[in-house]
Structure 1
């Protein structure tokens, strides 16, 4: 009896001990995982999942996709925990970018409220623009294309003397497809179906009228065309209403912005300090390299009714706009930056502070999301990116293996004539079309003094487009030899000729070497980041409850 009782006691103790080693209960269905013992809920997963587009989800089955999403959410939570544990919020990198995000988002909300939402476009305006721009009709036209301007002008003179257009097209046009039909292009074309220079040349004409010679690229070389309008058909407003609304919206946005700047200028009375401006220009012109080194960054560059702004603050804004020392050597460009970019942004921020826009719930929610993104970026910068190195041999190999990454965007070289009136610009364009030298016309007429010592030649690049926005956008669609404009700019009316376009592989110089080093380090950092995130799963243990996730997927 004693032996049996002892055996039973041992069995009971063993059972109790075994029960103590087993979890007392399964995790609740609302928990999909734990991170360092803390639950990750279904609600958190759903909120994360809703932000991931379907096309970005990976996995052959719905469950596999959800499991990958859950792993990504866990990685994010691990990184945020590590960022908090290591005090990333104190990093200057994080603080600077968080400040910039707050400023930019406030400015965006302000512009939406004070500019975009106050744009009203009436039906009468749409109708007027529809007719003014020639979108109320489509044209059928004949064309004669020849290789030289001299031949085009000779044919133009013959037409004025009564020659038959169709016969001349049959005899002279190098575009044989239309030439064999007497120049007939065979279809009606709307204004937006044509390149800007052709549309501009023909859409103000009546039926049976002929254009002067128009430069048209053909087989990669400039050719010269005469167009004759032979018929027209009405086009409904609906065919171009979307384009018209976009054009009017852009036009009214510019007008509303100008009005707002002018109105706030009368409130805050900003004044540029000419002495500080002169010092800035002198130091930038005398400097070397891309960085601006100021002797007295505390000097005031402008004042307003609320206070003053220093040279140092202005340079910080220029850096944020990716404008280096070379972009601050011309007085007109610096004044433009101050008057049209820096000061307007400054007085907008003063208005924002008074309005309490920074307390808007939508703004605060978006800022909180951005804070998380920047915390992750700052953590990566501190723990991974800054520890990555590259050798000269690795950089050179990358340059040789990836030539496309070292072929810059093209530089479009124009010769510009900037004048005060649209009518004079139109006259000068006609003279350019008649083969007058653009350099001579620029020296005689252009009011852009800073380009006179280059006879009006301006290289347009992605780096200086901020100063030539309207011209840059138009020039990108033109071939070498084509004429652009007149286009209205902030300083007048511009007409120009595209004289060159340059694009070639950059030599393996100091700049290319610097970029090659950067590419190698980026690739290494990407791989290092993956390893770093994996290591955090050792620091903060993770347990995933796949059964709970599977049940969620099946719902």
Structure 2
């Protein structure tokens, strides 16, 4: 049973906070960076937390999360001092995320801000929303056929007599329920205008021609004022969505009319051939690949392509805008940042998918440039969001570099092995079932399925991308809590049966359930040093890196002025329901609602002790 219920939902536009509100609601300063109440609430509520349902621990959880945020800000400042912000990977990530927010602001300006709903439209919607319809339909993709069938109906041939002879009859032996908002606008107008026993003219939709027949029309009774308000809000939502779709369609047609951007065909062919070879090779390594399993473009593939092209070709214009063309290197770096995957390594299938991606990239680049031209990157809410993500990218980059810099020698690994063989106490060991994926949509579905009661083991067997756990339906087997980085550290604090996640890990996003835990034991390993060496090295490297991170965070905290408004922090009202959301950006693109952070508070005691030790 999941103890911390998680609410999942999507949203496309963030709440826009005024600069004045932020100034008035600063809860902490870290050197030159301010943490506002708005950022704290947003990130706290969209980051997995422990024991939120225990009200007596809520203030402690808020303080823990604030210290985790403070650590991120400390490292972001230190990273900037050491010029990490001009690192090509950070620059790519920052610019890519900024373009997303600029496009999103453009979408708000051109689409959502222009949605106006009149009282007459609400009344028309309410007149329909208070009825439930039951219909049957005749369907054909052939225009001549549907109009010939319509002629038969007009001369009196019963609708049922025609329907029963057709293939679509089997999916509607019981009539189909239709509610307000289920159909496209012009089809809905025709269907809701019907009287019992009447049929529509042939109606063209995206997937073919339909003739609808009204079987039954039932009135709904609003039993309370709350139901009436809910109905009004639902009507407004349907109207708003319809207007948004129409505004988007008109903007898209007008904006892209007469715009053309050429692609360097030689570079396109070279990139595609290497991309195809890499993904095809990866596909061949996948055992028992299901048709829906994704094959991902990885950093190693990126480096292969970049090495193949060389610096000269990487600097050539790939997307040939008249001004500031996008180079092959810029395109590839953004491709890895946004992610690219396929369900098949088939060359024709992949070519079509890659071609669509190039077209989408051109369209999004044109939209972003329009946003920059209008100065949308200077909006306070855009700058705030981009700054939040940049701080997180800098923190993650430093963490990765620290881990990569640790070199564990064979002698150090042997010493650790001998130490264990002296019947030293083993740390606490845990066993988890994990689902790992780098797909945001999939992680959202998995979390939703878990909340609906689906066994995580079933989901792991179907979706996890951690190959070595697939045969065991995502089960790791017992491992010490000092292994597997944040996964081990978080699992150590969990109770058996609890589920945590998603957690951002280098491979993507991880959701895991603690299924068992062993206390410290005294037992020598049965495996030889050679068999255990690489695992010991990995564990030592992660431990060395983590302790270095703790020590340096405490040192940075001592060198920077940290101020916390504890009274304000305590007064902040936050949701006690763990939430995870994907933000779908205007004009395309998606990210997690906020940058995800693993709990990181162990440095605080070291920092406080340093302060006490000062003369």
Report the TM-score range of the alignment, normalised by the length of the smaller protein.
Answer: 0.3 to 0.5
TM-score in terms of structure 1 length: 0.46
TM-score in terms of structure 2 length: 0.43
Q: Which has the higher contact order (CA 8 A, sep 6+)?
A: 2
Greater Rg over alpha carbons, structure = 1
